[in-house]
Amino acid sequence: MDVISGAWRRTAAGAGLLSPRGEVAPTIFAEMSAAAVRTGAINLGQGFPDEDGPQEVLEAARDAIARGANQYPPGRGIPDLRTAISEHQRRFYDLAVDPDSEVLVTAGATEALTATLLALIDGPEDEVVVFEPYYDSYAAAVALAGGRLRTVPLRRPDFQPDLDELAASVTDRTRIILVNDPHNPTGAVFSPEVRSEVVRLANAHDAIIATDEVYEHLSFRGPHVPIATLPGAAERTLTISSAGKTFNVTGWKIGWVHGPAALITAVLTVKQYLTYVNGSPFQPAVAVGLRMPDAYFTDAAAELLRKHELLGAALRTAGFETHTPQGGYFTVADATALGGADAAAFCRALPERAGVVAIPLTAFVAAEHRGDYAGLVRFAACKRTEVLEEAARRLASLRDA
Ligand SMILES: Cc1ncc(COP(=O)(O)O)c(C=O)c1O
């Protein structure tokens, strides 16, 4: 018996969630994490930190539970968190955001993105332009919203898009240009030219810009630049971020979106019926986090950069060719010299071969473009130093094999 509706079965199959026979296709992330457990391999596949974040943030959540913040919060999020988000945007980016009408607290950045797409996509004629490789929820959420995904490739060595290819992909059918910066999985931070071109094209074709800035405080070569700060951008941009990566609380799922009041209202109409609200005691705790001193944020980026350097050196010693990340949790490495021209097969064998788990970049690419990324592997650097050092020792065995 088919228990999944035809419409959703087609949607889910299109997004790679279901096999053609209607079975749930385990994601490569689930498959690799299971392999890590089965083999005792170090899991550098999934991007979550293995250390707690700042004590004052954790304490604030415990406090909030003790003080009784355990029932539904307001639909837009508690006023103190919305104010803290507004203060944060002013403090780091000089953006003016009205906490009452221009901010919405969501169940992670994922809900903010999905609600945005569901609210703004009107049907199969509406296109969403994304850079490829892309975070895996994008294709699924566009499919769920009934829109069409249009991809612009990020190419080696620096994973910046070609400006002509970008311009050719944005048309009057483009409803949303979705930009993840700093970028998962490539570690790219987009150049000023790319950012300006996104804004120019959005204006020329009357498209909305949605950003995914979950790694905003993990930018290594200079301060993060939200697209909303560019001239002509704020009035058509929904800026999305979350607390998970910034405060090492990926399980709390507190995110937010801010932008023009009319767009936020549109997103709210969907969010209202997805989760309505979430994370009562975590909301005040994230407000505490957002008000932490500057040193917290700069130290977090410096510490992660140090880990990337450790991981990068280990990968090169093992025989990989590495790409230097400009931001975010991940280092991308080319496994071709190690017999990994097919990175998916290489990653499936890696737990047994070297006791380490990683994810092939093809997991973030539409099936028809996988060949372009076939030898590339993504490794997470957001792990304790001793874990990375042990991973380095294990990876070194690849060179000697
Ligand atoms: C680019 C990107 N966007 C969104 C998310 C998910 O964010 P959240 O947990 O806040 O929903 C992740 C998590 O890995 C990510 O890498």
| Alpha helices (runs of H) in 257-320, residue ranges in sequence order | 261-274, 282-290, 294-318
Q: Final residue of a domain: which of 290, 305, 330?
A: 290
pLDDT, residue 14, reads 65
| 228 and 301 assigned to the same domain | no
Residue 337 sits in a domain whose CATH number is: 3.90.1150.10
CA distance 191 to 193: 5
Cβ 252 vs Cβ 243: under 8 Å: yes
> Which atom number of ligand 1 is nearest to the Cα of residue 184?
1
E-strand stretches of 1-96: 42-43
Contact 278, 253 (CB under 8 A): yes
Distance 339 CA to ligand 1 centre (A): 31
Task: Indicate if 32 and 178 belong to the same structural domain.
Answer: no
> How is 254-266 classified by DSSP, letter by letter?
EEEEE--HHHHHH
Same domain, 224 and 339: no
Which tens digit of pLDDT belongs to each residue from 4-40?
A: 777 667 667 766 667 767 777 777 888 898 999 999 9
- As beta bridge partners, residue 131 has 152
Asked whether residue 67 carries a pLDDT value surpassing 80, the answer given is: yes
- What's 142's domain CATH number? 3.40.640.10
Question: Atom 9 in ligand 1: which residue has the minimum CA distance?
Answer: 108
User: What residues contact 135, with CB distance under 8 A and at least 6 apart?
Assistant: 180, 184, 185, 212, 364
**Together in a domain, 235 and 347:** no
Angle at 349 between CA 23 and CA 387, to 5 degrees: 105
Write the residue with the smallest CA distance to atom 16 of ligand 1.
Answer: 184
Q: What is the pLDDT of residues 172-202, one digit of tens each?
A: 999 999 999 999 999 999 999 999 999 999 9
Q: Do 180 and 110 touch, CB atoms closer than 8 A?
A: no
295 has a pLDDT exceeding 80: yes
Q: What is the pLDDT of residues 344-396, one digit of tens each?
A: 999 999 999 999 999 999 999 988 889 999 999 999 999 999 999 999 999 99
pLDDT of residue 261: 98
What's the whole-model pTM score?
0.96
Q: Quote the ligand 1 centre to 184 CA distance (angstroms).
A: 9
Determine the distance separating the centroid of ligand 1 and the alpha carbon of 399, expressed in angstroms: 33
Q: At what angle do helices 282-290 and 79-93 cross, to 10 degrees?
A: 20
As for ligand 1, residues whose beta carbon falls within 6 Å of it are 47, 108-110, 135, 180, 184, 212, 214, 242, 244, 250, 253, 255
For ligand 1, the distance from its centroid to the CA atom of residue 317, given in whole angstroms, is 30
Judged against a pLDDT cut of 60, whether residue 284 lies above it is answered with yes
Cβ density class 249-269: b for 16+ within 10 Å, e for less: bbebbbbbbbbbeebbebbbe
Same domain for 37 and 178? no
pLDDT at res. 15: 63
Residue 174 belongs to domain spanning: 55-290
- What is the overall mean pLDDT for the chain? 95
For residue 47, which atom of ligand 1 is closest to its CA? 14
102 and 201 both lie in a single domain: yes
| Same domain assignment for residues 20 and 122 | no
Which residues make beta-bridge pairs with 103?
258
- Residue at 1 is within a domain: no
Cα(110) to centroid(ligand 1), Å: 6
Distance CA 120, CA 142 (A): 10
Q: Verify that 312 and 272 share a domain, yes or no.
A: no
pLDDT per position as a tens digit, 109-152: 999 999 999 999 999 999 999 999 999 899 999 999 999 999 99
Contact between 183 and 217 under an 8 Å Cβ cutoff? The reply is no
- Residue that the structure tokens 């508690």 belong to: 78
Enclosing H/E stretch for 377: strand 376-380
